[in-house]
Structure 1
Amino acid sequence: MAGSFITVECPDCENEQSLFEKAASEVSCAVCGHTIARPTGGKADIEGEVTAVVEAR
């Protein structure tokens, strides 16, 4: 399976942001700039609560 999009809540400002679970670059919060995902070569290291997963169809 290729991967899914997820919605993550920022631990600092509680903003929800959608991103790819296998992010190839750092993903920062659009509101406060906190890094919410770091690439690891596979699934990204998520720093926040995953609130939703969009399943592939």
Structure 2
Amino acid sequence: MPGSFYRVACPDCESEQVVFGKAASTVSCAVCGHTLATPTGGTADIEGEIVEIVEDRPEAGAINQ
């Protein structure tokens, strides 16, 4: 399954949480409950600052063989 994982800083409490870039359900901050990711049917809308890419998993056609 292609997609990336991001470490996102919550805009309300500044705690950091890892979020899948193609989240299929709403992701809330574990500390304050603020919505960090909203599913769109593709790449999720991420609210907050992306601090780093934890794991980048490219599309199948982009992998060198």
Q: TM-score, normalised by structure 1?
A: 0.92
Q: Which runs of 5+ in 2 are unaligned?
A: 59-65
Q: How many residues align?
A: 57
Partner SS, residue 36 of structure 1: strand
Which residue is equivalent to 2:56? 55
Deviating runs (4+, > 4 A) in structure 1?
none
Q: Which runs of 5+ in 1 are unaligned?
A: none
Q: CA RMSD in A?
A: 1.6
Percent identical: 65
Q: Which has the higher helix share?
A: 2
Q: Take 1:56 and 1:3, find their aligned partners in 2: how far apart are those partners?
A: 5
Q: TM-score, normalised by structure 2?
A: 0.81
Structure with larger Rg = 2
